[in-house]
């Protein structure tokens, strides 16, 4: 990784560390803050353990950084009580909740949408550089993985809430009485990822000269032989795969 790239990642890391320490002081609910940060520590460790052998683009690093910043704000206040409406009244002179007719705190909805919008591109970079996907699959698979990981996180929240129970479980779930909360969160994450992939595809259509050819090639049949039981028979017969 070149010096400029390395410096960029270092600057983002320092800014995030400052924000993390600042928001770690007297959070609204220390137990919820610790639970919200468990996955952050794992994710940060993964990013830093791979940045030398597998450096991501600066676009990917900054989208990851922005998502983690938003998440840390939610972890400090708990997602259901982030005072964004108070901030909008103080800074902009009007109520966001009143403007949009919101009857609940929608910060969690915003962050779920941001999960898809900001992390779909780094996921796309992983698929292209590791799995060597191209064309249609370079846009569909990041969307698919974002949707599935969003579902997995909802299951993780459910499990954590069942395990810890009480006020901690309620604070961590942050449903605010909405029985469809998990469904809406997954839908917003999917919508964010779809928006990210549409933006990426639009840019590539304009800049990538072989965009149509690559797209068509990615959807072409690579092998005419069926798999399943036919492939098992071929392997038992000692045939080599195509």
Distance CA 175, CA 75 (A): 15
Q: Which residue range(s) make up the domain with 135?
A: 3-236
Q: What pLDDT does 117 receive? A: 97
Q: What are the tens digits of pLDDT across the range 99-113?
A: 998 888 899 999 999
pLDDT at 230 over 70: yes
Q: What pLDDT does 113 receive? A: 97
Q: What pLDDT does 57 receive? A: 94
Q: What pLDDT does 17 receive? A: 95
Q: What are the tens digits of pLDDT across the range 180-194?
A: 778 889 999 999 999
Least confident among 25-29, 113-117, 200-204: 25-29
Q: What are the tens digits of pLDDT across the range 60-92?
A: 999 999 999 999 999 999 888 999 999 999 999
Least confident among 163-167, 170-174, 234-238: 170-174
Q: What pLDDT does 120 receive? A: 97
Distance of CA 226 to the CA centre of its chain: 35
Q: How far, in Å, are 57, 58, 92, 131 from residue 128 at the CA level?
A: 12, 16, 42, 6
Q: What pLDDT does 132 receive? A: 95
In total, the chain counts a number of residues equal to 242
pLDDT at 215 over 80: yes
The mean pLDDT value of the chain amounts to 90
Cα–Cα nearest to 78, from 23, 41, 150, 15: 23
Q: What are the tens digits of pLDDT across the range 218-228?
A: 999 988 888 88
Q: What are the tens digits of pLDDT across the range 84-142?
A: 999 999 999 999 999 998 888 899 999 999 999 999 999 999 999 999 999 999 999 99
Instruction: For residue 9, tell me if it sits in a domain.
Output: yes
Distance CA 19, CA 160 (A): 26
Instruction: For residue 241, tell me if it sits in a domain.
Output: no
Instruction: For residue 200, tell me if it sits in a domain.
Output: yes
pLDDT at 208 over 90: yes
Domains in the chain, number: 1
| CB atoms inside a 10 Å sphere around CB 99 | 11
How large is the angle between the packed helices 137-164 and 30-50, nearest 10 degrees?
A: 150
pLDDT at 6 over 90: no
Rounded percentage of the chain residues whose pLDDT exceeds 90: 61
Instruction: For residue 242, tell me if it sits in a domain.
Output: no
pTM of the predicted structure, to 2 decimals: 0.88
pLDDT at 169 over 70: no
Distance CA 109, CA 186 (A): 9
């Amino acid at each position: 990784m070149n010096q400029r790239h390395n410096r960029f990642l270092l600057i983002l890391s320092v800014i995030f560390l400052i924000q993390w320490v600042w928001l770690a002081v007297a959070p609204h609910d220390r137990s919820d803050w610790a639970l919200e940060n468990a996955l952050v520590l794992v994710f940060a460790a993964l990013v830093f353990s791979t940045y030398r052998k597998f450096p991501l683009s600066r676009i990917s690093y900054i989208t990851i950084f922005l998502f983690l910043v938003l998440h840390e704000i939610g972890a400090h206040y708990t997602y259901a009580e982030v005072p964004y409406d108070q901030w909008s009244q103080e800074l902009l002179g009007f109520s966001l909740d009143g403007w949009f007719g919101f009857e609940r705190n929608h910060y969690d909805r915003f962050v779920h949408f941001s999960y898809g919008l900001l992390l779909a591109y780094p996921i796309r970079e992983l698929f292209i550089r590791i799995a060597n996907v191209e064309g249609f699959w370079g846009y569909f698979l990041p969307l698919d993985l974002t949707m599935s990981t969003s579902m997995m996180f909802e299951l993780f929240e459910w499990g954590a809430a069942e395990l810890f129970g009480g006020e901690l479980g309620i604070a961590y779930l942050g449903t605010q009485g909405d029985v469809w909360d998990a469904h809406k969160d997954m839908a917003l994450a999917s919508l964010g990822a779809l928006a990210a992939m549409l933006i990426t595809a639009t840019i590539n259509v304009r800049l990538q000269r072989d965009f149509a050819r690559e797209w068509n090639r990615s959807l072409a049949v690579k092998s005419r032989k069926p798999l399943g039981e036919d492939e098992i028979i071929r392997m038992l017969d000692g045939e080599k795969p195509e």
